[in-house]
Amino acid sequence: MNQQHQDERARIREAINRLLTGRAATSSGSLTIVALAAEAGVHRMVLLRRHADLKNEFYERVRAETPQVPEVETRLRKDVAKLKERVSDLVEENASLKDQVTHLALAGAVLAERLRKADEVVRLPDNVVRLPQP
């Protein structure tokens, strides 16, 4: 490892400790990778690519040392709850539409039968030609 790499790792570890103790100096103090990168003075992609082990260590320590759930997880849980509710609504709407299709098909069949019977009862004059039905 070169010196720059070691310096980055040291800054990231110090930033992890500051964030977990609530002493953020240069970031918002939230327990996210973006805040960690800002606190350590490195680009976020440096954390994700070069120091993925420190990113994982950070999230493990967040789960272990803080009673709160990370903001990302909270937001995702809310999104999942909304999506589950939406799916439930769509399933209910789909069932309702299937019932409507069934009722409309039955109504169409009844009307077609009534029309057929009405045509049988009505006698057409000899000069009227009935068109063939499809």
* 99-116 pLDDT per residue, tens: 999 999 999 999 988 888
* 32-91 pLDDT per residue, tens: 889 989 988 888 898 888 888 988 998 888 888 877 667 788 889 999 999 999 999 999
Task: State yes or no: pLDDT of 1 exceeds 70.
Answer: no
DSSP class per residue in 27-58: S---SSHHHHHHHHTS-HHIIIIITHHHHHHH
* pTM metric for this prediction: 0.49
| Domain limits, the chain | 3-65, 69-122
Give the per-residue pLDDT at 121.
Answer: 62
What letter does residue 23 receive in the DSSP assignment? -
The mean of the pLDDT values for the chain is: 86
Q: Which of 36, 40, 76 is nearest to 56 (CA)?
A: 36
